[in-house]
Copies of this chain bind each other. A is one copy, B any other.
Amino acid sequence: MSLPFHISIVFLIFLIFRLILTVHSDNTTLHVQPGSSSFKIVLFADLHFGEDTWTDWGPRQDVNSIKVMSTVLDQEHPDFVVYLGDIVTANNIPIKNASLYWDQAISPTRDRGIPWSSVFGNHDDMYFEWPMEWFSSTGIPPLHCRVNVSRPPESEGVCSFKGTTRSELMMNELEMNKLSYSKFGPKDLWPSISNYVLKLSSANNPESVIAYMYFLDSGGGSYPEVISSAQAEWFNRTSQEINPNSRVPEIIFWHIPSQAYKEVAPRSDAHGNCIGSLFMEEVAAQEAEMGMMQLLEGRSSVKAVFVGHNHGLDWCCPYKKLWLCYARHSGYGGYGNWPRGARILEITQQPFSLKSWIRMQDGHVHSEVLLNS
């Protein structure tokens, strides 16, 4: 069934309008939509695509994760999506190019014409972990080694256990997706890759910056789970350069909670000023603190940090002058069977305000919190 002609035209104009407003040649600036005073972001955390593809169970999880994302996107209609790491479970993927699963995870957002960006989690470039049972008498199961259709046919069916590097995953995301705002960070921050800043500007006045959004690679997988001194120094240099007087609010995204999360973690329910619904785990923090948190604490403009990683935690707690928040486990991959959902952020301008809530897969909303410090 085709849409009536005039509806198609209106839809087309809308799409073109949206593309003009949100996709820019440098892909470093986002804009509030004309006529709106707020900007809505959905955080998808810990999707863990690509698990156990040699079983029926694995691919079914990815279908379920697509449903979660579709529901949230269709109910919230966000302006932007952040993929907050552990997009794939690389330690479970026996194919040469894990970007095939990465691409699946991004598809619900891309299909709706919504721009997004991503940061790496510890599972995204983990090395393949051979299941011990494959060495017993059951042997190695028949593996469905999906290959890139653009590759020559002789590569069909060839499994690779060497893994896909962060650089390869990032390159594939950028090459194939014009709506991606992800970036390679400066080379001297290597082996961490997803370090970049996006600017959110007013619709009417592009010179008026509403917020800076910093994305950092908190490591893990092929290297230690840490934000390095070099990354902290990059943040320090960049923030002082583009926001010297801390006039513009700053929001921070990375995957693995810093050790500061352990200091504020509620034991078993939302007490004090913490807001959330899941308090089922200990904080699994980065291995060391190399200076990043001290910098964030020292800037009055930093409003909140958002992380994933712990599937059984979804709280926001105040910490010194800012907020430390978890997203919500969005994927059917990864450990834990707590109901899936996504954390939503709503940034309002004049005056600046940062509101957040969690939208569940069944549609209901909870844990609304104002993150103005």
- Please report A residues at the B interface, Cβ cutoff 8 Å: 127-128, 130, 132, 134-137, 139, 161-163, 165, 191, 219, 222-224, 226, 228-230, 287-288, 290-291
CB-CB under 8 A from A161, the residues of chain B are: 191, 222
CB-CB under 8 A from A224, the residues of chain B are: 130, 132, 135
Q: Kindly identify which residue among B127, B226, B291 contacts A127, using a CB–CB cutoff of 8 Å.
A: B127
On whether the beta carbons of B165 and A135 are closer than 8 Å, the reply is: no
18 contacts between A and B (CB under 8 A): A127-B222, A130-B191, A130-B222, A132-B287, A132-B288, A135-B224, A135-B229, A135-B230, A135-B288, A135-B290, A136-B229, A136-B288, A136-B290, A137-B229, A137-B290, A161-B191, A162-B162, A162-B163
Q: Kindly identify which residue among B130, B134, B136, B226 contacts A132, using a CB–CB cutoff of 8 Å.
A: B226
A230 to B137, CA, bound (A): 7
CB-CB under 8 A from A223, the residues of chain B are: 130
> Shortest distance in angstroms between A324's beta carbon and chain B's nearest beta carbon?
21
**Integer count of this chain's copies in the complex:** 2
User: Which residue of chain B has its CB nearest to the CB of A287?
Assistant: B132
Q: Kindly identify which residue among B135, B163, B229 contacts A226, using a CB–CB cutoff of 8 Å.
A: B135
> Shortest distance in angstroms between A210's beta carbon and chain B's nearest beta carbon?
33
CB-CB under 8 A from A134, the residues of chain B are: 228
User: Which residue of chain B has its CB nearest to the CB of A135?
Assistant: B228
CB-CB under 8 A from A163, the residues of chain B are: 162
CB-CB under 8 A from A127, the residues of chain B are: 127, 222
- A sample of 19 more A-B contacts (CB under 8 A), given A134-B228, A137-B229, is A127-B222, A128-B222, A130-B222, A130-B223, A132-B224, A132-B226, A132-B287, A132-B288, A135-B219, A135-B224, A135-B228, A135-B288, A136-B228, A136-B229, A136-B288, A136-B290, A137-B291, A161-B222, A162-B162
A132 to B219, CA, bound (A): 11
A254 to B51, CA, bound (A): 33
A178 to B222, CA, bound (A): 36
CB-CB under 8 A from A226, the residues of chain B are: 132, 135
Q: Kindly identify which residue among B139, B219, B287, B290 contacts A230, using a CB–CB cutoff of 8 Å.
A: B139
CB-CB under 8 A from A128, the residues of chain B are: 222
CB-CB under 8 A from A222, the residues of chain B are: 127-128, 130, 161
A230 to B134, CA, bound (A): 10
> Shortest distance in angstroms between A353's beta carbon and chain B's nearest beta carbon?
36
A287 to B161, CA, bound (A): 21
User: Which residue of chain B has its CB nearest to the CB of A137?
Assistant: B229
A230 to B288, CA, bound (A): 42
A137 to B226, CA, bound (A): 13
CB-CB under 8 A from A290, the residues of chain B are: 135-137
A191 to B226, CA, bound (A): 31
User: Which residue of chain B has its CB nearest to the CB of A233?
Assistant: B137
